[in-house]
A and B are shown apart, each in its own frame.
Chain A
Amino acid sequence: MTSFLIGLFLATLITALFTMRLYRLILWYSLNSLSLALLAITIGFHIGDNSMIVSGFFTLLLKAIFIPYILKRISLRFSLSRQIEPNIPVYYSIMLIPALLVFTFYLAEPITNMLSSNANYVAISISSLFLSLLLMIEHKNIAPKIIGFLSIENSLFLLGTIATNGMPMLIELGIFFDLLMAIVVINLLFKQEEEVKE
């Protein structure tokens, strides 16, 4: 089950890299967070860690439902352009993404040798970190860059969940609070862009 959800996590992230529409991208981000939340809940039930289950539910509410909804509303309000053409053409991405994945899989090998359990998944979460960086790099518009930033946060959460069997509850809550602050800042950024446009 863990493997299934991790597969979905990476799959939604890769599909987001090829997306050319803003709302579709927000949908993929939401599905990405959904698989992450389900993953945290499953692992939490598996190892009997209540705080991980709680942070999984927070992820579900906040990242899979609330943040995509807010992003969509903000982008509607500021009428951002819904076409987001990536800077890197798709035929380069087709070569770049597998190369990046192979690179990160081998990059993560020293780390995975140190861990005893879930070593494979650490490599996947590091590669998803790089893929979300690519998502930030390949777009000019502000909205996809923000989605890339949020995806980086998702991959870090995945890394924390998988590698350490759950960070302390306080840190998780702190991260969620940071994320909400980030959304407020994003709102301001959008406003700025709107003024620049005018």
Chain B
Amino acid sequence: MILYIAMILLMILLSPLVLSFIKMLKMFLLYKKPISIFQGYRDFSKLLSKEIIISKETSQITHIAPYLVLSPLLLTLFFLPPVSSGEYYVSFVDAFTITGLISLSTFFLMLLGLDSASSFGGLGSSREAFISALVEPAMILTLFSVSMMANNLGVGQAGLNLSKHFPYEHMASFIFAGISFFILLVAENGRIPVDNPETHLELTMVHEAMILDLSGFYLALIESASSIKFMIFASLFASLFLPFGLDLPVVLAIGVFILKIFFIAFLVAILEVNTAKLRLFKVPNLLGIAIVFSFLSLITFYVLGA
């Protein structure tokens, strides 16, 4: 139980580090002078000391929404698969709950964008709705097919089962699910082929457009929510698609887990440097590939058993 709580705290603490790591790696690969890996923490503490300025057009939603964006994601952290095999975990939470909690957070983010009635906010919200509507079916299908392969619908139990009896005979459908989930990881976190997190250009903004009006503590909440969201996806990917190293001693298992997270961050950074941002109306094509692969993984598993 102590390990369970400690792991959740560790994930929360590590999440800004992972995003700064991606940024640092990207700047290094583009021959820029890289930022410090601790920049995420610095930004957070800077935002904490700033005052909160809110447009007078806004309603009560702006005061509530930042907390409600963060809290479903914090709740999701409790339901993730265990990092080490001796750890406590919640076994009964399935794909619907995790996807639902993540989209609840996205829903409040969209409300926040609409609330201040600026033109950018509405634009960002509509784009986010458009993307997340396509992400959800693929995500549910992918998580379901992986948990079916692991013989348990609960995601936490599935992660443990996968590490104990890896389904070598279902490797083909496992790969399809992996490809699909990686596309979802990129799409849902607003990384480059879908959304560029670093620009404030109106043509490309999705996530940034919604939070343009925020400042101070609320902005810090939203920023940490987005880094925790990346952490959730990365840790789901690590425990469902790279299921090894759970049986090691606890400290080593946690070390392996952190290495896996940084490996995923490395992959995302490489992808970001090597691809151009897609036009918004090409994004459904990418997510369509994700849906095709997730469906394919399910039917390959069911019909062929391969």
Cβ–Cβ contact A90 & B288, under 8 A: yes
Residues of chain B within 8 A (CB-CB) of A3 are 168-172, 306
Cα distance, A5 to B196, chains bound together (Å) = 33
Given the known inter-chain contacts A14-B289, A91-B288, please indicate yes or no for A7 contacting B304, CB distance below 8 A. no
Interface string of B267-306 (1 = CB under 8 A from A): 0000000000000000011001101110110011001111
Identify whether the interface residues of B are mostly helix, strand, loop, or mixed: helix
* CB < 8 Å neighbour of B304 from A1, A98, A124: A124
Given the known inter-chain contacts A14-B289, A14-B293, A15-B289, please indicate yes or no for A120 contacting B306, CB distance below 8 A. yes
Given the known inter-chain contacts A6-B172, A102-B299, please indicate yes or no for A94 contacting B306, CB distance below 8 A. no
Q: Is A10 in contact with chain B by the CB < 8 A criterion? A: yes
Question: Which of B27-35, B114-122, B174-182 is found at the contact surface with chain A?
Answer: B174-182
Cβ–Cβ contact B299 & A105, under 8 A: yes
Identify whether the interface residues of A are mostly helix, strand, loop, or mixed: helix
Number of interface residues of A (CB under 8 A): 25
Q: Identify the closest chain B residue to A108 (Cβ).
A: B304
Interface residues on B, range: 20 to 34
**In the complex, what's the smallest C-beta–C-beta distance from A130 to chain B, in angstroms?**
13
* CB < 8 Å neighbour of B171 from A7, A91, A97, A105: A7
Cβ–Cβ contact A98 & B288, under 8 A: no
Q: Identify the closest chain B residue to A90 (Cβ).
A: B285
Q: Is B85 in contact with chain A by the CB < 8 A criterion? A: no
Cβ–Cβ contact B284 & A4, under 8 A: no
Cα distance, A93 to B306, chains bound together (Å) = 23
**In the complex, what's the smallest C-beta–C-beta distance from A12 to chain B, in angstroms?**
10
Cα distance, A52 to B291, chains bound together (Å) = 36
Cβ–Cβ contact A7 & B174, under 8 A: yes
Cα distance, A120 to B292, chains bound together (Å) = 19
Spell out A's residues near B (CB within 8 Å). 1, 3-4, 6-8, 10-11, 14-15, 18, 90-91, 93-94, 97-98, 101-102, 105-106, 120-121, 123-124
